[in-house]
Structure 1
């Protein structure tokens, strides 16, 4: 199964529709233009990529912001293995006027994948290890940039990592922001499957109905099946569960071609790392549930796509209603599914600036 297909999981992970990568680096001139437009030129800005060793694994970190005095916002990508660093150019630049944004290729993912021996890394691919990697990274960032005001945004799979950090080390965070938040993985998959099958029946799509009926029960008892997940994601993406009003993910999976942070070799590593992490980790995720988590000691915000059936938003909204926290809020994006930062970038920026950023206070001068 190709790595780009496996990339499909938490970002609606279906690269069956994604076009093949070009054989040559014909996008280099375009990447240079994008890089120049996005270059940080402010006197107190930061723009750097470095390697960090977290939990014994070498991992790549990218940091960008117009003012080092701004609070840090750590973006924890989805997948596992679906790195956001090569897509961030499409939405992140306006955020950088208000936060110092950190993109991190997690262990076994993206640019981090070639840095470690997969055989040695495989036994370490656990939720707890990813959580502790994130904690180590936050502590490193606080030291490196002399900045104690840190926000964490977890997207899809990254919302499992992020919420785990918020539960274990609330002292490190000013707030946690969940996007495509996963609360109960098995229930997530059940509701997503039921919705997708209903859409296929409504559309009279006999092929989709037959393929979906063939994987019943889904997700079923026991470990998750990658093959069944791939079938479900193929059709859920087709019906807009990843991106509202779109029947494919091409726009998203093509974005890395223009990324200043990723070469064609890095995109290959992305594919390979996605296949590796999905194969190792996905079957272990079936019983992940934050339903018992009823109290957080840090503010929590959920950015919810009204049309998200990759991680159905109703599950997360119901959990948020129950949880006790110093402050909490649900921000709905009516025209988004699983990717509101790309589908409704203006509204996401406004939510970050008006709802989240004030918790850090004024930028010290």
Structure 2
């Protein structure tokens, strides 16, 4: 007897949060079912006989009442759990956002404040604009292309970059915590300008990976991952004619200043480019524009093979030759 009581107490403790509600539901539904039995019993017998060919005698009214009570309890509980109970308020996910300021990324020199040719590096600022702290933030060098060497490829991208604190503490990079409203600086690249033989050093999270590229003109796509959708930014990394390292935001206003040759094209929304073709081009950093809208072919371009040709007379442009012979002229945005 004692063991049975202990078992009963354990069951009650397990069901304690909902046992009062269940007792109330059982008594209410049972009372309604028993009181209204004379009303629903003929309909139930007729339905069983019509649809299931069951001739149920009226000798066990209590049994049928319990069946109806069980079914009614199931639907009452279903309604309470999924309809009447207030839905949980989903809090917006925190967002990590690359700071796209009008000014160029932060530059530092070693020693600090040095003038002339020195060790010069650049960082980008990352800020958590969400209401909650984020534990798993990371910034990747997602894509990298050369503006002077069409065949250039960085075999290690996409690859994570290191933060300023990780570099200063000589720690391996990777994910980092970003508090709400707190900025962090992500190391991108540096160069020892004092030696003409030196190469640009990219700040990968893993120092064991080869991270040097020769002096040149590059376009970098940085992507920040956090609590929300990834945020990307385009930057230009180059060594100017004076041997100084330069790193700046790539924008439409700056596109015509230098020969940013054959990368991105301007969209002409009047032309309904097929969605699949357009997505593939945008994934490669291209938007689309027809050079002569009046000569645009009437059929869609979905599935067409594209061929890229550099116009040697205008290095700010690129031609895309479609399979039907029509030509797209692109300009960096």
- TM-score greater than 0.5 by the shorter chain: no
More helix by share: 1
More strand by share: 2
Structure number with higher relative contact order (C-alpha < 8 Å, ≥ 6 residues apart): 1
TM-score when scaled to structure 1? 0.18
TM-score when scaled to structure 2? 0.19
